[in-house]
Structure 1
């Protein structure tokens, strides 16, 4: 801060803020509306500030104002300073286990794993205002306005700080009724008579029936002529399977509750394929605030707790 600005105290600080709003709006009338003042009051404050600083900030025309060269420099300095102050205030607020925490993840992960467990986190940290966004785009925390993201990929996302969360495996799932109808229990060759349900965006924008092909190739099965229905979200394929529409390729950890309840079963429990993809946590390296650390710790504890345990009765 310069010696000149050190002399600006008390009500004079309000005049600096009035200048910032007027410059940003390029209008005394619009600045007055934002500040709940009259246009003449805004003009008076600017005139006072110009006299105090000995600098002409605006050229005034009929119904319009323009920043002078000196005014432009002042506005750039003010904008930079206010932005810095806002970041510092936000950082100070985020030193506590309170306030907004934005999390981005895949729709299937949010619906099947995160949301059913989130009450435990909210009970532990009631002052954290959790916001959950979902989508299938590449991770970009700035663009998404997120503090943290959870992805499912074969490689750690680039650009951000990454941590491993948990692994995953794929296995066919269907309703007990469907398994009985097509005699599927421990007889994967009978898939030839079934309808396969595909997630077209399993790990890319369009992965088609890649999950099923990968699984079938690994276990030496031929599913080339099998009927199929495709969805753009894994959860839709799972919902269809729950309602007896066919056999879906499920991610086992995401389906732990449905498997435990018996809504879905594993007709071929020995045919489980470990994915090369893993779940990763991405954060800003320089914004590891306590509430973010708390959420990451909770994610890891929850994953390590083995929430995907399935009772033997439902394995058939």
Structure 2
């Protein structure tokens, strides 16, 4: 029998397509075109002499032979992945300087860096919060994680991390006091809490209360962490979200007041265009994208 591993790439494509029941989603995950996925599957089907998928126009589902094959292929690929990751954790080393937007750095990224360094103990990540991203490369920063509007337009490769969708939230006591007044918020006179300017609340008002200028009022804090603390203390209503404010929302320290939300910002990761695929920065970027995949869906 000819070497079965000569179709290893095609088997990897098959596993992704079978897991998603979609050639398009497999192509997106593997960063290849739909036609490449289709060709790999055709090659496998010709090699095995059987159909692995049943096609229904643009929709596919596993055939009986495909269902029999999937568990063994998935298990084999996982063994290869685990073996590779175990060795990488022992051998990858270096220092990685990350310049990140302060709220993201303190409320989400710090914990992920700790998890990453536990997995790769020979890689040191130097996290440097900064409102203005550092210069990338030239001995200053190996990676930028910031608002997409502040990422350089040239000299870098960029990947979207996740978006922030903000909605009105407040401390339970403040919510209860509003409920005692028929649960109606007077958005002209609402006591607002802003972070780093009034732009985000302005977006929300434009989308949902366009005739009101209530966004102009309220106290401005220089950092989201300070704004969150003020909201927890009952000082007003904040535009919270399910990522950076996840701990406060899940614990009940902040509660949602209004179902209406607004897209506040996208966070992006940027690396120098010449960054090596085997570098610590590329490894960390890929790990972060994997950890945040569900947040982009």
In structure 2, the CA distance between the partners of 1:144 and 1:265, relative to structure 1 (3 Å rule), is farther
Q: For 1:197 and 1:251, how far apart are their aligned partners in 2? A: 14
**1:91-144: CA deviations, max 9, x gaps?**
xxxxx5212111110110011111133332122111111110011114521477
Which residue of structure 2 lines up, in the alignment, with residue 287 of structure 1? 275
Q: Is the 8 A contact 2:98 2:143 kept in 1?
A: yes
Report the TM-score, using the length of structure 1 for normalisation: 0.58
Q: Specify the SS of the correspondent of 2:163.
A: strand
Q: Is the 8 A contact 1:253 1:307 kept in 2?
A: no
Q: For 2:159 and 2:181, how far apart are their aligned partners in 1? A: 38
Which runs of 5 or more structure 1 residues have no equivalent in the other structure?
1-95, 201-207, 309-316
**1:7-59: CA deviations, max 9, x gaps?**
xxxxxxxxxxxxxxxxxxxxxxxxxxxxxxxxxxxxxxxxxxxxxxxxxxxxx
Q: Is the 8 A contact 2:144 2:151 kept in 1?
A: no
Q: For 1:305 and 1:264, how far apart are their aligned partners in 2? A: 23
Q: For 2:126 and 2:146, how far apart are their aligned partners in 1? A: 17
In structure 2, the CA distance between the partners of 1:180 and 1:298, relative to structure 1 (3 Å rule), is same
Residue 161 (structure 1) aligned to one of 135, 157, 160: 157
Which residue of structure 2 lines up, in the alignment, with residue 238 of structure 1? 228
Aligned-CA RMSD value:
2.9
Aligned positions, number: 205
In structure 2, the CA distance between the partners of 1:248 and 1:143, relative to structure 1 (3 Å rule), is farther
**1:247-299: CA deviations, max 9, x gaps?**
1123432112221121211111x211124x31111111112343112211121
Residue 256 (structure 1) aligned to one of 246, 257, 260: 246
Report the TM-score, using the length of structure 2 for normalisation: 0.61
1:125 is aligned to 2:114 = no
In structure 2, the CA distance between the partners of 1:185 and 1:134, relative to structure 1 (3 Å rule), is farther
**Greater Rg, structure 1 or structure 2?**
1
